[in-house]
Protein backbone atom coordinates (compact mmCIF):
# COMPACT_ATOMS: atom_id res chain seq x y z
CA UNK A 1 0.00 0.00 0.00
CA UNK A 2 1.56 3.30 -1.12
CA UNK A 3 0.73 6.46 0.80
CA UNK A 4 1.50 9.86 -0.67
CA UNK A 5 2.08 12.62 1.88
CA UNK A 6 1.32 15.90 0.17
CA UNK A 7 1.98 19.47 1.26
CA UNK A 8 2.65 22.69 -0.58
CA UNK A 9 6.44 22.87 -0.65
CA UNK A 10 7.50 19.27 0.11
CA UNK A 11 10.22 20.85 2.18
CA UNK A 12 9.12 20.10 5.74
CA UNK A 13 5.84 18.52 6.91
CA UNK A 14 5.40 15.98 4.11
CA UNK A 15 9.10 15.11 4.30
CA UNK A 16 8.77 14.50 8.05
CA UNK A 17 5.68 12.34 7.51
CA UNK A 18 7.37 10.28 4.80
CA UNK A 19 10.47 9.80 6.95
CA UNK A 20 8.46 8.76 10.01
CA UNK A 21 6.37 6.34 7.94
CA UNK A 22 9.46 4.75 6.41
CA UNK A 23 10.95 4.41 9.89
CA UNK A 24 7.89 3.20 11.79
CA UNK A 25 5.73 1.21 9.37
CA UNK A 26 6.19 -2.40 8.39
CA UNK A 27 5.41 -3.82 4.96
CA UNK A 28 3.07 -3.61 3.09
CA UNK A 29 3.11 0.16 3.68
CA UNK A 30 5.28 2.36 1.48
CA UNK A 31 5.56 6.11 1.85
CA UNK A 32 6.38 8.86 -0.62
CA UNK A 33 6.01 12.62 -0.39
CA UNK A 34 5.55 15.48 -2.79
CA UNK A 35 4.42 19.07 -3.00
CA UNK A 36 1.98 21.03 -5.08
CA UNK A 37 4.71 23.71 -5.44
CA UNK A 38 8.06 22.19 -4.37
CA UNK A 39 10.48 24.60 -2.72
CA UNK A 40 13.57 22.55 -1.93
CA UNK A 41 14.51 20.85 1.31
CA UNK A 42 14.30 22.89 4.48
CA UNK A 43 17.60 22.70 6.42
CA UNK A 44 15.91 22.94 9.82
CA UNK A 45 13.74 19.94 8.96
CA UNK A 46 16.88 17.89 8.31
CA UNK A 47 18.38 19.10 11.60
CA UNK A 48 15.43 18.14 13.81
CA UNK A 49 14.93 14.80 12.09
CA UNK A 50 18.64 14.01 12.56
CA UNK A 51 18.11 14.61 16.30
CA UNK A 52 15.86 11.53 16.35
CA UNK A 53 18.19 9.45 14.17
CA UNK A 54 16.53 10.00 10.80
CA UNK A 55 18.83 11.10 7.98
CA UNK A 56 17.16 13.21 5.28
CA UNK A 57 20.34 13.85 3.29
CA UNK A 58 19.06 11.64 0.45
CA UNK A 59 15.62 13.36 0.36
CA UNK A 60 14.74 16.05 -2.14
CA UNK A 61 11.71 18.19 -2.80
CA UNK A 62 9.47 16.53 -5.41
CA UNK A 63 6.48 17.75 -7.37
CA UNK A 64 3.27 15.75 -7.33
CA UNK A 65 3.39 16.09 -11.13
CA UNK A 66 6.61 14.02 -11.20
CA UNK A 67 5.09 10.95 -9.53
CA UNK A 68 3.30 7.98 -10.99
CA UNK A 69 -0.01 8.65 -9.28
CA UNK A 70 -1.44 5.35 -10.51
CA UNK A 71 0.60 3.65 -7.78
CA UNK A 72 -0.91 5.75 -4.95
CA UNK A 73 -3.42 3.98 -2.70
CA UNK A 74 -3.82 6.70 -0.07
CA UNK A 75 -3.47 10.45 -0.38
CA UNK A 76 -2.60 12.14 2.92
CA UNK A 77 -2.53 15.93 2.86
CA UNK A 78 -0.64 17.50 5.76
CA UNK A 79 -1.38 21.19 5.23
CA UNK A 80 -4.52 23.13 4.42
CA UNK A 81 -3.02 24.69 1.30
CA UNK A 82 -2.25 21.29 -0.23
CA UNK A 83 -5.70 20.04 0.75
CA UNK A 84 -7.34 22.98 -0.99
CA UNK A 85 -5.08 22.77 -4.08
CA UNK A 86 -4.96 19.00 -4.17
CA UNK A 87 -4.91 17.60 -7.68
CA UNK A 88 -7.56 15.09 -8.61
CA UNK A 89 -6.03 11.65 -8.50
CA UNK A 90 -8.33 9.18 -10.23
CA UNK A 91 -8.64 5.83 -8.57
CA UNK A 92 -7.22 6.78 -5.17
CA UNK A 93 -9.58 4.93 -2.85
CA UNK A 94 -8.71 6.77 0.38
CA UNK A 95 -7.89 10.37 1.15
CA UNK A 96 -7.06 11.69 4.62
CA UNK A 97 -6.24 15.16 5.82
CA UNK A 98 -4.51 16.46 8.91
CA UNK A 99 -3.41 20.05 9.11
CA UNK A 100 -0.14 20.63 10.92
CA UNK A 101 1.23 24.07 11.80
CA UNK A 102 3.77 25.45 9.34
CA UNK A 103 7.09 25.62 11.21
CA UNK A 104 8.61 27.57 8.32
CA UNK A 105 6.97 30.68 9.80
CA UNK A 106 9.40 30.38 12.75
CA UNK A 107 12.39 30.85 10.46
CA UNK A 108 15.23 28.89 8.93
CA UNK A 109 18.05 29.25 11.45
CA UNK A 110 19.10 25.73 12.50
CA UNK A 111 21.14 27.20 15.38
CA UNK A 112 18.28 29.17 16.98
CA UNK A 113 16.70 27.22 19.85
CA UNK A 114 13.35 29.00 19.48
CA UNK A 115 13.18 28.01 15.81
CA UNK A 116 14.28 24.45 16.56
CA UNK A 117 11.63 24.08 19.25
CA UNK A 118 8.85 24.99 16.80
CA UNK A 119 10.11 22.40 14.30
CA UNK A 120 10.52 19.80 17.05
CA UNK A 121 6.92 20.28 18.16
CA UNK A 122 5.64 19.77 14.61
CA UNK A 123 7.99 16.78 14.13
CA UNK A 124 6.61 15.13 17.26
CA UNK A 125 2.99 15.86 16.36
CA UNK A 126 3.52 14.33 12.91
CA UNK A 127 5.16 11.26 14.46
CA UNK A 128 2.13 10.65 16.70
CA UNK A 129 -0.24 10.97 13.74
CA UNK A 130 1.88 8.72 11.49
CA UNK A 131 2.07 6.06 14.22
CA UNK A 132 -1.73 5.92 14.34
CA UNK A 133 -2.42 6.24 10.60
CA UNK A 134 -2.23 2.53 9.61
CA UNK A 135 -4.89 1.65 12.19
CA UNK A 136 -7.08 4.47 10.90
CA UNK A 137 -6.68 3.26 7.34
CA UNK A 138 -7.57 -0.32 8.25
CA UNK A 139 -10.91 0.88 9.64
CA UNK A 140 -11.80 2.77 6.45
State the catalytic residues: 7, 79, 86
Q: Is the alpha carbon torsion for 55, 44, 119, 41 positive or negative?
A: negative
Q: Is the alpha carbon torsion for 114, 21, 126, 95 positive or negative?
A: positive
Q: Which of 32, 52, 55, 61 is nearest to 120 (CA)?
A: 52
Q: Which helix H or strand E contains 31, and what residues bound it?
A: strand 30-35
110-135: string of b/e by CB count within 10 Å (b at 16+)? beeeebbebbbebbeebbebbeebbe
Q: Are 48 and 120 in contact (CB under 8 A)?
A: yes
Amino acid sequence: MTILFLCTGNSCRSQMAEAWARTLWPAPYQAVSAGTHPQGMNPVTATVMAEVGIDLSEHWSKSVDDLDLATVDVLATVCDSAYEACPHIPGVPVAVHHSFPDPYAAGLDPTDDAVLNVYRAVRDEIKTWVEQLPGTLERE
